Structure 1
Amino acid sequence: MRASTSLRVRLPVLVLVLEVVILTLFALFVTYDDNANAKFQNNQTNPMENSLYRDYPFFADVQVMIFVGFGCLLAFFRFYGFSGMVFNFLTATFAIQWAILIQGFFQFYSGGKIHLGVVNLLNAEFACAVVLISFGAVIGKTSPVQLLVMALLEVPFFAVTEWAVLKYIRINDAGGSILIHLFACYFGLGVTFVLYRPSLNKGHPNEITSYQSDILCVLGTLFLWVFWPSFNSALTLKGDDQHRAVLHTFIGLSSSTMTAFALSAVFNKRGKLTMADIQNVTLAGGVTVGASVDMMISPAAAYALGIMGCTACFFGYKYLTPFMAHKLKIQDQCGIHNLHGLTGLISSTAGICAILLATEETYGPSMYQIFSHRAPPLGDPKLLELQDLIPGLKPGLGRTAQIQALYQLAAIFSTIAASTVGGLITGFVMKLPFMASPSDEDCFDDELFFDMPSDFERSKDLKITIDNDEKEKVSSDTKS
């Protein structure tokens, strides 16, 4: 007997509880920051100096990535388009609300309140991106109740890890290759390991794409591709650092796209292009440049990183994903380990190399702004000299390049460890029997959770007819 998957009670009760909790916490702890507070505005204030005009363009771009880019990208299954887009919508909306609070307690909490501004929303959207990347590992095999629970648990795990790494380990990771991509990847793999379904390794009748779903998925890829420079540069230092971040991201994406087309044609037995490669592998360069995106790595290095990331991602999809499913019991449905894990590791390694090679000769005094951990500590005479050249420069830790490289390495391992443990714990919670988890037979099927239009039935009937015709043809050819 199949367990009930009705959302009639489960989803409304969970949403009601979450909304009451969030509303209460907003009422108790959230207020406006100075740039949104009317008390701090007067006749001498220049409205155009408000931080809104600095941060909102990046926020808007990341909004498009979260709700349109990810939404379309996750609608690649033929009979799971509603779920891919709508569950993305639901999960992202909650994750952002929850992240505003959880991150706020760690990053923006002062005077007994979380001071809310657009930069909080931007940080919350990065936390949301972590959840959506992890969602890719379990897409088609989870209910909306399970996904909300995953977001409920993943956001605090991420916020604590992010806070600890940035406050105590102190690393350079402008594009989030370590704290966003690696964390999201290994958290998602931890969840899908616990939710392992042996029968899905043999394939599933609904685990197919269609002409329309592939087009929609490519549209999501294009949205992500176009706005990725904003994602990588949003939280970098304003000025030349942010300028470099935009340039490096575009160059990395461009080279990975060209490489993806070439690899797809070469390794296709009929010399044709494969849509899955275009939808996913083309984006690898955006991740691969992330850890060093604001550094003086040179345009050529960004181009090379795009090629390297794309190559690793392509072969990961081709060989590593099947191996992980059959040998390690990790069913990575969207291949997040290839697009975010492998490329995140390459990016982190490139970031360490860039730190080791950074010198004042290349960066000038601004090196101590970009690599703030290398700035002289308080009381060091050199700090006063640098502050004359760079007003507002804060005391650093006085680390050498070699010591900072070790801290970067420590951040990589600690992030992977924390995310994996968090994913395993979350997976066990999501596996509880009242979570409306679909049966193996009902996976990758919109009809389980949605009232479907009439043409959905006809399209499914057509698929069954085509499959039967192909089986009969194979049987006839075998006999002859």
Structure 2
Amino acid sequence: MRSRTSLQVRLPMLIFALEIVMLVLYSLFVTYDDNANAKMQNNETNPMENSMYRDYPYFADVQVMIFVGFGCLLAFFRFYGFSGMVFNFLTAAFAIQWATLIQGFFQFYYDGKIHVGVINLLNAEFACAVVLISYGAVLGKTSPVQLVVMALLEIPVFAVTEWAVLKYIRINDAGGTILIHLFACYFGLGVTFVLYRPSLNSGHAKEVTSYNSDILSVMGTLFLWVFWPSFNSALTFKGDDQHRAILHTFIGLSSSTITAFALSAMFNKRGKLTMADIQNVTLAGGVTVGASVDMMISPAAAFALGIMGCTACFFGYKYLTPFMARRLRIQDQCGIHNLHGLTGLISSTAGICAILLATEETYGPSLYQIFSHRAPPEGDPKLAELRQLIPGLKPGLGRTAKEQALFQLAAVFATIAASAVGGVLTGFVMKLKFMASPSDEDCFDDELFFDVPSDFDTGIVLKMEKILDEKSQSIPMNITKDQ
């Protein structure tokens, strides 16, 4: 059985083949953008005006979220810490390489070349975040070969969806609620639907946490929490828009965190805190403010959105996740539907409401920068008037608030449909026999794919715990364990 999951041939062949293909493509199509090209610089060029100084701080923050935040957060299983962190590392590194190339063809391709700068890497990391969120749905049940294949297939589907939604539907989605969180969630659910394992619905002996693994996972939560304002604001307009995005994200995160502690204690039968709630539910506010994060929604609205997202996420973990596993054949291992799906739908609704309520009285002339689709089209006399107030204002589509709200709604349904179909098709590819998929009994176990240290023995640990549990149950009720 273990030979069926051996990585000795499968993983090297897949990686070397992909790296050779990418090396050829990078050689043929990738060059520097103007800010990284020595030919474009001269004695009068001010190096401090280079876009690197504007984009790199956000890139660095998102780097921490991707490699440290997600990595630690996914290491919450007691016997799956190596896999949770290391497979995250492998998948993320590959996804960023691949996304830089694939997104480049849609966003940065001209003169027959993809022009690469720090902004490309930042966009690629958002695409990488999509893959890692989807990974959460199949955590513990997949091999590294399957995860690389998932990234290989998900990135193009995401890039096409992103391009189509932004170019043709034209929406406001500064925090990536629709194109990151909703896409990643329903793609991951599509994959796990196909990879359904009936025996895991009744639980698994190794599907447990430990004191140390829970601490490590909370560290991942803290890294994500601290850097989430950078994630939500990285691609917003510089200035007041970005300022609002940072404020709203922090307010939403803080309100969801406080609410999570209250709900965790309230609904625990013994009135105690549950670590799973602290690790996941506290982050809900970062997603819920995403669709309206750069808009004039008011700090109070951001506060309320954090509470709403946290509440939906909490009850989703408690009731919806078990229901989906039993009734819908969707085993959402990390509850991504709660943290990214339910909160994403709330956020999208809030964004639509904010668009409907947006007026010149509230925003001033900058209304047509934030909601560029509402700017008058080329040739409209009002566009000339606005350009006197906002030099360089680009022509828009002349949409009304109601029209834009309908386009936002269309983008939500289109994104969910595209991601779900893509996830199902990807799941069928990942299910092929040569993908080194672990057996049911080998799920959630590092030993299947790693040379583990001598102090790692799941069999002995689980056997000792069973013996201790049987002994504790044999103690008469009127006698304590200490006695």
TM-score for the superposition, normalised by structure 2: 0.98
Deviation at 1:462, TM superposition (A): 2.9
Displacement, 1:464?
1.8
What SS is found at the alignment partner of 2:31? strand
**1:416 corresponding residue in structure 2:** 416
Q: Partner of 1:207: helix, strand, or coil?
A: coil
Q: Give the aligned partner of residue 166 of structure 2.
A: 166
Query: Do the aligned residues in 1 keep the contact of 2:5 with 2:437 (CA within 8 Å)?
Result: yes
Match of 2:460 in 1: 461
Asked if 1:470 corresponds to 2:463, the answer is no
Q: 1:2 to 1:68 in 2, by over 3 A?
A: closer
**Who is 1:279 aligned against?**
279
* CA offsets 1:428-465 (integer angstroms, 9 cap, x no match): 000000000000000000000000001112x6513321
Aligned to 2:61: 61
Opposite residue 83 of structure 1, the aligned amino acid is S
Amino acid at match of 1:311: T
- Aligned to 1:376, the other structure's residue is in SS state coil
Distance 1:104 1:33 in 2: 11
Q: Where in structure 2 are the equivalents of 1:283-362 lying within 5 Å? A: 283-362=283-362
2:173 matched to 1:153?
Answer: no
- Between the aligned partners of 1:468 and 1:97, the Cα distance in structure 2 is 48
Moved over 4 A (4+): 475-478
Aligned to 1:181: 181
Aligned counterparts of 2:190 and 2:470: Cα–Cα separation in 1? 37
**Residue identity matched to 2:44:** Q
Amino acid of the structure 2 residue aligned with 1:471: E
Deviation at 1:358, TM superposition (A): 0.1
CA shift for structure 1 position 475 = 6.0
AA matched with 1:13? M
Kindly state the Cα deviation for residue 474 of structure 1 after the two structures are TM-superposed.
Answer: 3.3
Q: What 5-or-longer segments of structure 1 have no aligned partner? A: none
SS class of match (1:114): strand
Q: Is the aligned partner of 1:100 residue 2:78?
A: no
Counterpart residue number, 1:209: 209
What is the root-mean-square deviation of aligned Cα atoms in Å? 1.2
Letter in 2 for 1:468: I
Q: Which amino acid aligns with 1:170?
A: R
Aligned AA (2:380): D
Q: What letter corresponds to residue 61 of structure 1 in structure 2?
A: D
Post-superposition offset of 1:466: 1.4
Q: CA deviation at 1:470?
A: 1.0
Q: Which runs of 5+ in 2 are unaligned?
A: none
Match of 1:77? 77
Normalized against structure 1, the TM-score is what? 0.98
Question: Are the equivalent residues in 2 in contact too, given 1:374–1:399 (CA < 8 A)?
Answer: yes
Partners of 1:170 and 1:396 lie apart in 2 by: 10
The range that moved more, 184-193 or 385-394, is 385-394
CA–CA distance in structure 2, aligned partners of residues 301 and 462 of structure 1: 49
Task: Provide the C-alpha distance between the structure 1 equivalents of 2:476 and 2:432, rounded to a whole number of angstroms.
Answer: 47
2:463 aligned with 1:449: no
Equivalent positions of 1:3-22 (< 5 A) are 4-22=4-22
2:76–2:213 Cα contact (<8 Å) kept: yes
3-state SS in 2 of match to 1:455 = coil
Secondary structure at the aligned position of 2:4 is classed as coil
Shift of the alpha carbon at 1:275? 0.3
SS of the equivalent of 2:115 reads strand
In structure 2, the residue corresponding to 1:434 is in which secondary structure? Answer: helix
Corresponding residue of 1:439: 439
Corresponding residue pairs, total = 478
CA distances 1:247-281 after superposition (whole Å, capped 9, x unpaired): 00000000000000000000000000000000000
Q: Supply the AA of the counterpart residue of 2:452.
A: M
SS at 1:412 equivalent = helix
In structure 1, the partner of 2:27 is: 27
Q: Which amino acid aligns with 1:54?
A: R
Q: Report if the CA contact (8 A) 2:2-2:448 is conserved.
A: no
C-alpha contact 1:183 1:419 (8 A) present in aligned 2: yes
Q: Is the 8 A contact 1:193 1:331 kept in 2?
A: yes
Name 1:363's counterpart in structure 2: 363
Matched, 1:379 2:379: yes
CA contact (8 A) 1:2 1:439 kept: no
Partner Cα distance (2:450, 2:313) in 1: 34
Q: Could you tell me how far 1:467 is from its partner in structure 2?
A: 1.6
Distance 1:466 1:52 in 2: 54
- Answer whether contact 1:221 1:280 (CA < 8 A) is retained: yes
| Distance of 1:338 and 1:89 partners within structure 2 | 24
Deviation at 1:225, TM superposition (A): 0.1
Partner SS for 1:121: helix
CA distance in 2, matches of 1:163, 1:477: 66
Structure 2 counterpart SS, 1:257: helix
Partner of 1:132: 132
Match of 1:241 in 2: 241
- Cα distance per residue 1:222-264 (max 9 Å; x no partner): 0000000000000000000000000000000000000000000
Find the aligned partners of 1:477 and 1:79 in 2 and give their Cα distance: 32
1:286-323, Cα deviation, whole Å (9 max, x unpaired): 00000000000000000000000000000000000000
